[in-house]
Amino acid sequence: MQAVEATNAFLNNGLLAAGIGAGLILIGAAIGIGMIGARALEGMARQPEVAGNIQTAAIILAALIEGATLFGLVIMFLIQSGIIAIAG
């Protein structure tokens, strides 16, 4: 009986950790993309002649951050569903 309760507690903690992990991943991505946008606009305001290059670089960087975010979310969902077992 204790083994079942320990397993349930472990799974509940895993679900809680997955939820917290998803929130942290999305908050980090939002902060990163916001900082890219702010700095890109600041750079375009200071040097309008290179606005196209700055905009292209900002879009590429935002796409890379979103890709890393998606990768993190997929890993989090795999851990949550138990496909990737946590050794412990």
73, 30 Cβ separation under 8 angstroms:
no
- 25 within domain boundaries: yes
- Please tell me the total count of domains within the chain: 1
Q: Is residue 1 scored above 70 in pLDDT?
A: no
Q: Is residue 35 part of a domain?
A: yes
- Is 88 part of a structural domain of the chain? no
pLDDT for the residue numbered 88: 47
Residue 44, φ and ψ in degrees, nearest 5 = -65, -35
Please give the Cα distance from 45 to 59 (Å, whole number): 17
| Domain presence at residue 20 | yes
Residue 15 has pLDDT above 80, yes or no: no
Tens digit of pLDDT for each residue in 27-80? 999 999 999 999 999 999 999 999 999 999 999 999 999 999 999 888 888 877
Q: Which pTM value belongs to this model?
A: 0.73
Q: How far apart are the first and last CA of the chain?
A: 20
Rounded to the nearest 5 degrees, what angle is found at the Cα of 77, between the Cα atoms of 74 and 82?
125
CATH number at residue 24: 1.20.20.10
